[in-house]
Each structure stands twice: as C-alpha cells, then as structure tokens.
Chains A and B, each alone.
Chain A
C-alpha cells in the first residue's frame, strides 16, 4: 500500500527536479519557462482564486461528463441494438467527432450568448460523449447470441436481458472509455474557459496570467489542471473497482 503511493510520488519529485534542473542549466528567465520553485509562491498568492476557479472548472467538467455518460450510453444502446441505427448514425458520429472542437466555441457562444456555465458544460459534453457511445455500442453489438438466448428462451424481456446481462457485460469497456472521456471533458471545459473567457474557471485564471505577463501563475494553473485531471481519473478508477472489479484478473 505504502509502495503504491510512494512510487508515483517519487516519480513526480524526480520529474520536478529534472524540470528545475532544465530551467537552471539553460538559465531560462521566468517568461520563457517558469521553474517549479517559482510555483509555490504563485499558488500561495492566489490561493483563494485557485480554490474558487478550480471548483468552477471541476463541477462544470463533472456535469458535462455526467451528461456524456447518459447521452453516450443511450446512443450506444441505440447503435448497439439496431443495425439500421448503426449504419445510419456511425458516419454522423464520426464526422461530428472529427470536427476540431475549438471551432465550435464561437458557434456555441453565439447561439447561447452569456450562458457561460451552460456553454462550458455543453462543450465538455460534446467532446467527451463519443468514446462512451462507441464503446457501449460495440459492447452490445458484439454480445454473443448465446448470452441473450439463455434468458430469451425463458421469455425474459429485452429490458431484463439488458439489465442482467448486456449492461454489466459492457461495464469494463464502458469504464475504459470513461477514463478517456474524463480527460477529454477537462479539455472541453478549459477550451471554453480560455478561448471565450468569462472570468470563471482555471482557464480564465490562465488567461489573466497571460494578460498580466504573470508566467509563474500560468504554469501554476497548468499544474492545478493536471492535479484536477489526476483526481478525476482516479475517481473513475475507484468507480470501476466498485462496479466492474470482477473484470480485473490481477488479484486472482
């Protein structure tokens, strides 16, 4: 247990040391590349802002991700169960996913003027639902027919078969996709916060660092984002252990 925590901590410390060394050896000034030793003071100076804005970023990401889970699962069910829907929707989904989401920021800010929270959540959702939809869809469409037949032969409804077999069976794929989606949702939130700043979220803090030439602050924001990303990722891992721990063969 101790090793499980100490190993990544040591890895992070080594990473910070190398970073410090790199900046020091090149004699880079602050505005070229801040070094880790500049960061604590930046965090301390803006600590309230970090908490307030970090929370704004986090909750909007989580809401967007939550929507992505619901809509992504629904789309996945539709394309997983119906070949017609699969043929019809796949090109649309892939096309939508291929659009660089940065180009959509001005579009949605124009459609929903002033709805900053909504716009941010919408972007987090749009960028992150695709992996979930695809993984649930593939999980359902590749379910071996025998799994269905053992219950179908007893007269079980489609819903019962979904709940007792198809849903649990796709959970490992679902959580695999959720890990990717969680990271993507973060990118979506920050994209809106940075490209269309409205004074909320870590993205806005980054933008203000940029405007004021406060380079240590900008780097501190990046570190804070990485930190939140790690927290969200491990939250997903925790849920995976709870709901799909059976798929983990490591312990057996």
Chain B
C-alpha cells in the first residue's frame, strides 16, 4: 500500500484515528458484521465518549484501538503510526475491575510496570503507585486485598492500574457501568481530576449520556449493529466542569439531542415508536 497520506499536522492533532473500519466476527452461524464505516478522531489530550445501543460494537472498537484486533478493512492510527498490534503505551479499564485476588491493591496497581518497565526499581514503582492511589483516595488501602474493598474502591484501583505506566492512550470500556449512581458520580469527579493531573488521550465507552457529557470533550454516537459513526457532538463546557454543569440549559440541550440520536440508533423514531 502507498505511504500514509497523513500530514505532520494531522499527526499532532489527532492522537487516535480510525478511518472507515469494517469488521465481521466469524461465528458458527456465519459472519456477524459489527463495524461498518466507523470513523473516529480524537485530538491529543482530549476525551472521546462513545455511546451506542448495547451490542452495537463498542467493545470491538476498543479492541481496535488497543491493537488487540485488526479490522477487516479500514485503518487505525495512534500517534501518526498505523496500529499493527499491541503497544506498551495503552492502558485499559473495564466494567469488571479484574483485580488479581492474590495480590494486594498496591501490587495490582504495579502490574503493568512489571511488563512495561521490568527494570524500574521497586522503590520507584511503589512511589508511582502510591501517588496514584493517593489521587483516587485509596491511601491506607494499599496492602488490602481486592475482596476487602467496595466495588467503587476496586474500580478506583483498576483506574490507577490503567494509567500507572503513563500510557498516552487510555481505553475505558464502561468502567462505571456496574456502580450505583452516587458512587458513579464520585468516580466521574475522580476521573476528571486524574485527567487534570496526568496527560492522556482517552476513549470512554459508556451507556450513560450524562457521563458522556460530563467527561467527554466530544460524544460519538454509534448506530445499531453494525456500528458506523452516526453523530458527533462537541461538548462545549469548561474543562474543569462540576456536576452542576450537567444541570445548565446548555447541558440539557445536549442531552436532549443525544437522547434523540440514541433512539435513532436503536431504530426508533424520536417519538419512541418502533
């Protein structure tokens, strides 16, 4: 194939770029198309929130960005480089915190460093992990086992693990989806503060529109399966927004538009009829 047509300017502007991705899973009952014309572009240092009907292909999108999968067609770019496989500069967190039960919270957070920076002195690893645990309010819990923590605390630890190695791309696949509403809002604020302290570019999959508006710099609405980019909204709220920002008329308008877009994605008209 010819050399990429990206100019240097594009490279700096969009840290994550997916162009025209198509993909089908091979299943027992034949190919299942999940992506069909997916385009996303995430400028460096920003948060892209992705919403879409359940089962439309959102997690598949995260696997493309993480280099865990190649699309049948289309291109995935990170940092102006074509993604061909996993890379050490990616961090991931999921709805299930998947902490390792036999490790303490501290050792769970350190795990990626063991892979990415095997020669980093233990002292520095611990210092880095403790710094993050402090930021998310888990100081004092570092030597506990995951089973001794609440769901929200486990998810905080999982977030620390996802950024401990200073990834430039953070992939969050519905990380707050299983939490109760109050804990979820606490974690939104934690996420906002982490963003201010650590430089990363993030893709956040969510099924909560308020979450997408609170954390996203843009909200990307995917169509029903097979997913294509249906709608992109720039979130025009201050970067250091508080939860109150969600109750402004501006936010209400955005939420309204997103709700209508989701209905269209689900194959219903805006009135809610199928």
Contact = CB atoms under 8 A, between A and B. Distances in A.
Interface of A: 144, 146-147, 149-156, 160, 164-165, 168-169, 171, 244, 246-247, 249, 252
B167 to A, nearest CB: 9
Contact of B98 (A147, A156, A247): A147
Given A151-B115, A156-B115, A252-B148, A246 B68 contact: no
A169 B100 CA distance: 8
A144 B88 CA distance: 21
A153 B96 contact: no
Interface centre among A155, A165, A247 (most CB of B within 10 A): A155
Contact of A168 (B90, B100, B171): B100
Given A155-B86, A155-B88, A144 B98 contact: yes
Given A146-B94, A149-B92, A154 B116 contact: yes
A247 B100 CA distance: 11
A221 B120 CA distance: 58
Nearest to A153: B66
A147 B93 CA distance: 10
Given A164-B111, A246-B145, A150 B86 contact: no
Contacts of B90: 153-154
Contact of A252 (B98, B116, B145, B171): B145
A154 B112 contact: yes
A151 B108 CA distance: 12
Interface in B163-177: 165, 171
Contacts of A171: 102
B85 A155 contact: yes
A152 B98 contact: no
Contacts of B88: 154-155
Nearest to B65: A153
Interface of B: 63, 66-68, 85-88, 90-92, 94, 96, 98, 100-102, 111-112, 114-116, 145, 147-148, 161-162, 165, 171
Contacts of B91: 153
A251 to B, nearest CB: 11
B145 A150 contact: no
Given A160-B115, A249-B147, A252-B145, A153 B86 contact: yes
B116 to A, nearest CB: 6
What is the predominant secondary structure among interface residues of chain B facing chain A?
Answer: mixed
B66 A165 contact: no
Contacts of B94: 146, 149
Nearest to B171: A153
B98 A150 contact: yes
Contacts of A246: 101-102, 145
Give me the 6 closest cross-chain CB pairs, A-B, nearest first. Answer: A246-B102, A155-B86, A153-B66, A146-B98, A154-B115, A146-B94
A252 B88 CA distance: 36
Contact of A155 (B63, B87, B92, B96): B87
Contact of B86 (A154, A164, A165): A154
Contacts of A153: 66-68, 86, 90-92, 171
Nearest to B87: A155
19 contacts: A144-B96, A144-B98, A149-B68, A149-B92, A149-B94, A150-B98, A150-B112, A153-B171, A154-B86, A154-B90, A155-B85, A155-B87, A155-B115, A160-B115, A169-B101, A169-B102, A171-B102, A246-B102, A252-B147
A156 B147 CA distance: 26
B13 to A, nearest CB: 24
B86 to A, nearest CB: 4
B76 to A, nearest CB: 13
Nearest to B102: A246
Contacts of B161: 150
Contacts of B165: 154
B96 A146 contact: yes
A165 B63 CA distance: 20
A62 to B, nearest CB: 26
A168 B86 contact: no
Given A150-B161, A154-B116, 5 more contacts: A150-B112, A152-B86, A153-B171, A154-B86, A169-B102
B64 to A, nearest CB: 12
Contacts of A160: 115
A247 B101 contact: yes
A114 to B, nearest CB: 47
